[in-house]
Chains A and B, each alone.
Chain A
Amino acid sequence: MRGHGPESDIVMSSRIRLARNLAEFPFIRKCTPKDRTAVATAVHRALDSLPLSADTEYVDVAKLGDLDRQFLMERQLISHELNESQGARAVILDPKERFSIMVNEEDHLRLQVMQSGLDLESAWKRMDQLDDQLESKLTYAFTKRLGYLTACPTNVGTGLRVSVMLHLPALVTTKQIDKVFRALNKINVAVRGLFGEGSQFMGDFYQISNQTTLGKSELGLVAKVQEVVPRLIEYERRARDFLVSESRQDLHDNVSRALGILCTAKKISSEETMHYLSKVRMGVNLGLIEDVKIPTVNKLFIHTQPAHLQKLCGRKLSVTDRNIERANYLQLHLSKRSENEKN
């Protein structure tokens, strides 16, 4: 989410994950505490003997405090499941956050590779190499017929999930989003939208991913998601052009008000923040807001989340205090603009 990479005005990030299990141990639901520790130890030991270990960090998640775990979750380096579960579990972190490997999540191993913008093929290439390295030291549960065996039958086969996070505010504003997704659903691609109360409130972000994992090759699954995304990008661009040509005034007013609220609010929730940041992001991409940069907006999406704010303040905060700190933080980082206006 650093705001670069191909098509980064619409594509936030590309993400690939693999589910893997070690052959010698039962799946997580039947792991004893001893098994969980043994899985973590086996993975840690394997990592230590790989070149990979030179520039990664093995983090014992069970030993982390609530805030640190939530922080990793907000950065999407660990999942909710890994954050909440009990017992031995870990995450292997790349300092540049290009990948992470969760240990003892729903499966023994969950590898994920992240990339800014739309670049699934290179993400898969890196994933493939990461998987090869681990596999040279670990024995995965695998059969020729069903492929990699997973705790949930929805992941069996490749264990692969390819997903692309898109920012589609114009399709939402022009009320075309449902129509577009209904058409997509026919080709077996899952779309997940995140809405807020009443209308769209959660930033108009949508995630496109493959629905099946068995019966197609990894590159076949990558291609399937890859081929849908350009169409969505095109629809979104058309909707943006339409908005600019048909109702430029309204749009300009709308995104400017959003920025105004973010710059002046004294208390603001994370949902409200996302909602207005989403509008500002569209305003910047359409050239209607000139003195805010996309990387700043992307950073604000992440840094205004609860654990990030508390880390920045260096202490635990109540919801009310967080809303106040969030408002302060937004003001501080968007204030350059207000100064420019005054001048």
Chain B
Amino acid sequence: MKCQHCEKPATFHITELTEPSGPTVLHLCEEHARTFLSADGTATPASALASLLAKQLKMEKVAEDLAISDKKTCPICGISFADFRKGGRLGCAYDYVAFEDELEPLLVNIHGALAHTGKVPTNQSGSPERQHRLMQLKSEMKEAITREDYETASRLRDKISSIESDDESSWTDDALDEDVDDEDEEDDTFQAEPPIV
């Protein structure tokens, strides 16, 4: 038997039991088996993800809609949704915003959920919306400088530095929610403390 990915003989036969349709057997040569099994043994092969995407999109979208989705591009990294469908990898964090409508059904399909309930970093300034806003402001500033509108440019520069220095506020009201959440959590911990007898 030959390897599914090349001409070498298949010496590894891997049973994948994760498909909803039941076990799938892969026949691979040593090299391809290592690729498949290395890392943490969980890398969803890009091809499998791509076919999952194709299947799902076919079910939910008519060709015309799909063509529209495929043409959507991320304003930051420039990949199109079609690029993502082909490779199974996103180009930047902002893609989760840019392709939100397309990714949502996919996430539900993979995870059966749409909301993160796990760990939260102390430093939450790494939001893609914030990165995007900064990028926008920087390009606006460049433009202002080009047309020698220094007043606008300096206003924009202040805005940029205020976003850059102040990590939690000033760019979105998300930060306000945060503060409220934090207080709630603190209260909970406080109340949960058992009384000392």
Residues in A lying within 8 Å of B, measured CB to CB: 15, 17, 21-24, 26-30, 73, 79-81, 83-84, 105-106, 112, 128, 131, 135-136, 139-149, 151-154, 156-158, 160-161, 163, 178, 181-182, 184-185, 188, 190-197, 201-202, 207, 209, 211-218, 220-221, 271
Contact = CB atoms under 8 A, between A and B. Distances in A.
A212 B112 CA distance: 8
Given A151-B89, A182-B17, A143 B12 contact: no
Given A212-B111, A215-B117, A185 B90 contact: no
A28 B77 CA distance: 11
Contacts of B35: 80, 84
A23 B11 contact: no
Contacts of B78: 30
Given A157-B111, A157-B116, 4 more contacts: A17-B40, A145-B116, A152-B49, A218-B118
Interface of B: 10-18, 22-23, 30, 33-35, 37-44, 49, 76-79, 87-93, 95-96, 103, 106-107, 110-131, 174, 177-178
A154 B44 contact: yes
A214 B42 contact: no
A216 B115 contact: no
B123 A139 contact: yes
Contact of B126 (A28, A30, A142): A142
Nearest to B117: A217
Contacts of A142: 120-121, 124, 126-127
Query: Which secondary structure dominates where chain A touches chain B?
Result: mixed
A139 B177 contact: no
Contacts of B40: 15, 17, 79, 112, 161, 163, 209
A6 B63 CA distance: 54
27 contacts: A23-B128, A26-B92, A30-B77, A30-B78, A106-B43, A128-B119, A135-B123, A142-B121, A144-B124, A149-B93, A149-B96, A152-B88, A154-B44, A154-B49, A156-B107, A157-B111, A161-B40, A181-B23, A182-B17, A192-B15, A193-B15, A201-B11, A212-B112, A215-B111, A216-B117, A217-B117, A218-B118
Contacts of B33: 194
Contacts of A218: 118-119
A154 B125 CA distance: 23
